[in-house]
Structure 1
Amino acid sequence: MGKKDQVPAEPDREPRVQYAALPWRRDAAGGVEILLITSRETRRWVIPKGWPIKGLKPPETAAREAYEEAGLEGAAGNKKLGLYHYDKRLRSGRLQHVRVAVFALKVAVERDEWPEKGQREKRWITLAQAADLVDEPDLKAIIAAFAPA
């Protein structure tokens, strides 16, 4: 196998973009809870996210991912909360650098059935617990700073 046929070990230079929802609700005492889900392959705690969907704006894409991955429905804010980055391992084995734009999603409905039910765990927890469980430093900061109006 020649040098040009080898799978690159370093991530692509240009990051691809994904859109994520930071699902939240108020608990009985009026505090804020965040919903985290596990990723399908590594089982790390993450927020719902996905690639752009043709015909949908970024907040709408984030809301769609929250439904597909966690059975959540609600209103996604139009203002980006922030960005974080991670490296996604593709089926080819190559690493793809991904930039994720995060949008708040005020959860109105949590469905009993959804497309990826059974593929992930999900958990409602406090902001501090959520910030502690996620791996990406910039996502930790976004969660820790989150203060819904």
Structure 2
Amino acid sequence: MPADNTNRSALSELMKVSDQRLKGKVIAQYAAVCVRPNPEAANDIQVLLITSRGSGRWVIPKGCRIPRKKPHEVARQEAWEEAGVRGQVKKKPVGHYTYVKKLKGPEAAPALVQVHLLNVSELERDYPEMGQRQLQWFSPEEAACAVDEPELKTLLRGIRKLYKKA
């Protein structure tokens, strides 16, 4: 099964940097899980995924701290820069996940990502990273299967419930 191999691969990558995580050497990032009502199914939602610029993996928009911006504001900013998303972002995070961030050369570090729900109202045609990434809408289950990170898979599988609470 491809999903099992992907999970093992993501977990083995995390194991390689576990000593850094235990020592508190973790990169903090903030992300937006971008959702909209499903235009083809009443009372359902879709999740926007984008490709990473380096590996082309499916991910959600995310980035590091920006001075004088709160975490949810960083998530909203990254969603706009990376995908042209405009909408309402929730201040309270809906979850967290960990992944291995590739640095220069062979270096890597664990990254802890705080995730905020963003209700998409508009996709702009012109945004800073236009043409550098692919964008695609998925059902929550399809999105969970498309991403590599096990904790993000779990978060996406439960996004309908989090969306209804928000």
* Aligned length, in residue pairs: 140
2:103 alignment partner, one of 57, 75, 90: 90
RMSD of aligned C-alpha atoms? 1.0
Identity, in percent, stands at 40
> Which residue is equivalent to 1:41?
54
Which stretches in structure 2 are left out of the alignment for 5+ residues? 1-15
The two structures have a TM-score, normalised by structure 1, of: 0.90
Which string of whole-angstrom CA distances, capped at 9 and with x for unpartnered residues, describes residues 21-62 of structure 1?
A: 000000222310000000001000000000011111101100
Which string of whole-angstrom CA distances, capped at 9 and with x for unpartnered residues, describes residues 6-34 of structure 1?
A: xxxx5334211100000000022231000
The two structures have a TM-score, normalised by structure 2, of: 0.81
Higher helix share: 2
Alpha-carbon shift at residue 92 of structure 1 (Å): 3.8
> Which residue is equivalent to 2:27?
16
Amino acid corresponding to residue 35 of structure 2 in structure 1: W
SS in 1 for 2:99: strand
- Paired with 1:90 and 1:24, the residues of 2 have a C-alpha distance of 29
SS in 2 for 1:93: coil
1:27 alignment partner, one of 38, 41, 44: 38
> Which residue is equivalent to 1:6?
none
Higher strand share: 1
- List, as ranges, runs of 4+ consecutive aligned residues in structure 1 with deviation greater than 4 Å: none
Report the structure number with the largest CA radius of gyration.
Answer: 1
- Paired with 1:127 and 1:33, the residues of 2 have a C-alpha distance of 6
2:73 alignment partner, one of 54, 60, 85: 60
